[in-house]
Structure 1
Amino acid sequence: MNKLMDVLIIGGGPAGLSAAMSLGRIGRTALVCDDARPRNEASEHLNNFPTQDGIHPATWRKEARRDLEKYKTIQFFSGSVASVEKHTNFFRARLSSGEVTDFRKVILAYGIQDRLPAIPGLKELWGKAVFHCPYCHGFEVRNHKLGLVGNGKFLAHGIPMFSALSKDVVVFTNGPADFPEELKLQMKKNSIEIVEKKIKKLLFEGTRLQGLEFEDGTVKERDALFATPLLPFQMKSDIGQSLGCEKNDMGLYQVNEMKQTSVPGVFAAGDNMTMMQSVLQAAASGSMAGAGAVFELVNEDFLKGNSYEI
């Protein structure tokens, strides 16, 4: 007979580790499954996180796991979750090791997988000279020659933000620009150039960006780029989809204030449920998802007259 644990946490990043802490502090049992595929693996530092500003992402995860050591109800598994099946009163999970364990709740904290335009050089410089978030990396490249690679509404809403970082900003749409005429006029007033030519490749040496080469052979020098991902977002796992969790138009899980998905007993936290994607935001949502799971667990036990010890 399979053992029953309180919560399965799929993902060992900021969201999953923060969810585990919420659970551990109320004495609930949880298994954190980490397949070692952090979204910020290419980055050398994480920022915009009070007391941790500039720390290496791997160091942050190591210290977060160290903080969890005192919570004896929290366990870790190094590997992936192959499948999760919903039963009447529990979820049955099969791990990549072949082990099968039952859980009362599930927290989806596995984040998203960045998909970038097929431009040679983008992947090589991702997290080094090509970034996705001005809060995470903008300060380090302020007042440099910046480029924005993207098009349409998703890029348009961020243009004022990037223009605040540097007076030398160029937008590369990699084809005809899909912006309202009013925005184009505002960009012109703010000296933001729009380049609609097809990008052939990025020019770089080591991890230092030199510029962009276009299909017509011309080159535009840039020091750093911010690139918008291809939409809809792609999850790192299809567990939520297999359970029937609803998504929005961006491909992110729809959740309520407590990070409960459309499937009872299943919560989502981190980059897979919000456009506010950063380590700090992921940690905050993970803490809330853990609290949401705790709330349901303790109330279920209270109604049954069950007691437990921390």
Structure 2
Amino acid sequence: MEFDYEVLIIGGGPAGLSAAMSLGRLSRTALVCDDNRPRNAPSTHVNNFPSQDGIHPAEWRKKTRKDLEKYKTIGFFEGAVLSVHKVDQGFVAQLSSGATRNFKKVILAYGIQDKLLSAPGFKELWGKSIFHCPFCHGFEVRGASLGLIANGELAAHGLPMIYGLSKDLILFTNGKANLSEDLQETLRGRNVEVIEEPIDHLIYEGEVLKVVVLIDGQKKERDALFVAPIFPFQSKSPIGESLGCEKTELGFYKVGERGETTVKGVFAAGDNMTMMQSVLLACASGVAAAAGVIFSLVSEDFHG
């Protein structure tokens, strides 16, 4: 089987670009396929990233692509990977351009698709006044009137962190609350209001949240909301599943220490394989997956 590239990287975000850089530095050939659907597209900044704190996500990708230009073994395809099939000792990928390419290894770096509440205003404010990560966005709204949309164990996990940002906090369970007696007592002691009435819609001006309107007509003024994830996470592409990669109950690809999935030769990096989700951590997992790929490639080269 003749190979066009050694590695297929599906996804041109932090994980995919970081994997490409590591592969380039060891002069391994790789094709980065990017269909331009970044998860952080609604956001205007990347935070909690040393030397890049506050940079626009699109600018970060542009700069990283520029850095990759010196690695001549790395190619780019602007489009989607429609399918990947395991054949003999490698993989055959069908690209949205109609072309077919052969690879030795695959890195799934296409991330996840956020599941948003259907309440009007939610999609419009996502990444602007509504956030999923306090590490990424909490500093900018510290001391503001905040809301956390969560229930059960996820509420218990998120409340201390959001309360640490602002004591003016409301917990929206968006339905019947499932909270332990101890947690309810703690919330009463901290003057954190718990609202079970489902959210009907949001009132906002531009990108700024003003009011959370409940189904019964109640209105709660809030400056920003944090939202617990809706499980299971949904990958942006079904390619991993089509290859037979196993997932956890939370929707993440099962991976080993070097990022290899349950299918030999297929690796995963970024938000599709861990709850630790940020640009910096996606970069780290991309480097780890690339290291796993490189170790496999050089071992095959050396031992035959």
- TM-score, length of structure 2 as denominator length: 0.98
Q: Which residue of 1 aligns with 2:90?
A: 90
- 1:145 & 1:138 partners in 2: Cα distance? 12
Displacement after TM superposition at 1:155 (Å)? 3.0
Secondary structure of the corresponding residue to residue 69 of structure 2: helix
The corresponding residue for 1:308 is: none
Structure 1 residue runs without a partner (length 5+) = 305-310
Counterpart position of 1:271: 271
Contact kept, 8 Å, 2:3 with 2:104, in 1: the verdict is no
Letter in 2 for 1:265: G
For 2:152 and 2:250, locate their aligned partners in 1 and report how far apart those are by CA, in whole Å.
Answer: 14
The residue number in structure 2 matching 1:43 is: 43
Q: How many residues in Structure 1 have an aligned counterpart in Structure 2?
A: 304
Return the letter of the residue paired with 1:149: I
Partner residue in 2 for 1:212: 212
- How far did 1:196 drift? 0.7
Q: Give the drift of 1:193.
A: 1.3
- Per the alignment, residue 65 of structure 1 pairs with 65
Q: Which runs of 5+ in 2 are unaligned?
A: none
Shift in Å, 1:63: 0.5
Q: Partner of 1:101 in structure 2?
A: 101
Question: Amino acid of the residue matched to residue 12 of structure 1?
Answer: G
Within the alignment, does 1:281 sit opposite 2:281 as a pair? yes
Q: Tell me which stretches of 4 or more aligned residues in structure 1 moved more than 4 Å.
A: none
CA distance in 2, matches of 1:122, 1:151: 18
Which residue of structure 2 lines up, in the alignment, with residue 291 of structure 1?
291
Cα distance, 1:2 vs structure 2: 5.8
Shift of 1:197: 1.0
Amino acid at match of 1:142: R
Q: CA RMSD in A?
A: 1.0
User: Whole-Å Cα distance in 2 between the matches of residues 72 and 291 of structure 1?
Assistant: 19
1:120 paired residue number: 120
1:217 is displaced (CA, Å) by 1.3
Deviation at 1:88, TM superposition (A): 2.3
The match for 2:189 is 189
- SS of the equivalent of 1:184 reads helix
Tell me which moved more, 181-190 or 277-286: 181-190
Alpha-carbon deviation of 1:180?
Answer: 1.4
Task: Give the C-alpha shift of residue 120 in structure 1.
Answer: 1.1
Distance in 1 (CA, whole Å) between partners of 2:16 and 2:249 is 24
In the aligned structure 1, how far is the partner of 2:240 from the partner of 2:154? 25
Deviations 1:24-83 (A, max 9, x none): 000000000000000000000010000000000000000011110000000000000000
Q: Is the 8 A contact 1:2 1:100 kept in 2?
A: no
Q: Separation in 1 of the partners of 2:40 and 2:103?
A: 29
The equivalent residue for 1:198 is 198
Map 1:205-284 to 2 at 5 A: 205-284=205-284
CA separation in 1, counterparts of 2:2 and 2:115? 38
**Structure 1: which amino acid aligns with 2:52?**
Q
Secondary structure of the residue that 1:158 maps to in structure 2? helix
Kept after mapping to 2: 8 A contact 1:14/1:270: yes
Residue by residue over 1:276-300, the C-alpha shift from the partner in whole angstroms, topping out at 9 and shown as x without a partner, is 1100000000011011100000010
- Describe the SS at the equivalent of 2:302: helix
CA contact (8 A) 2:253 2:273 kept: yes
Q: Does 1:129 align with 2:129?
A: yes
Contact kept, 8 Å, 1:116 with 1:228, in 2: the verdict is no
Q: Is the 8 A contact 1:131 1:227 kept in 2?
A: yes
Letter in 2 for 1:116: L
Contact 1:117/1:230, CA 8 A, preserved across alignment: no
Match of 1:171 in 2: 171
2 CA distance for matches of 1:143 and 1:156? 21
Cα distance in structure 1, aligned partners of 2:233 and 2:250:
6
* Contact 2:158–2:228 (Cα < 8 Å) also in 1: no
Partner SS, residue 164 of structure 1:
helix
**What is the aligned partner in structure 2 of residue 307 from structure 1?**
none
Deviation at 1:190, TM superposition (A): 2.0
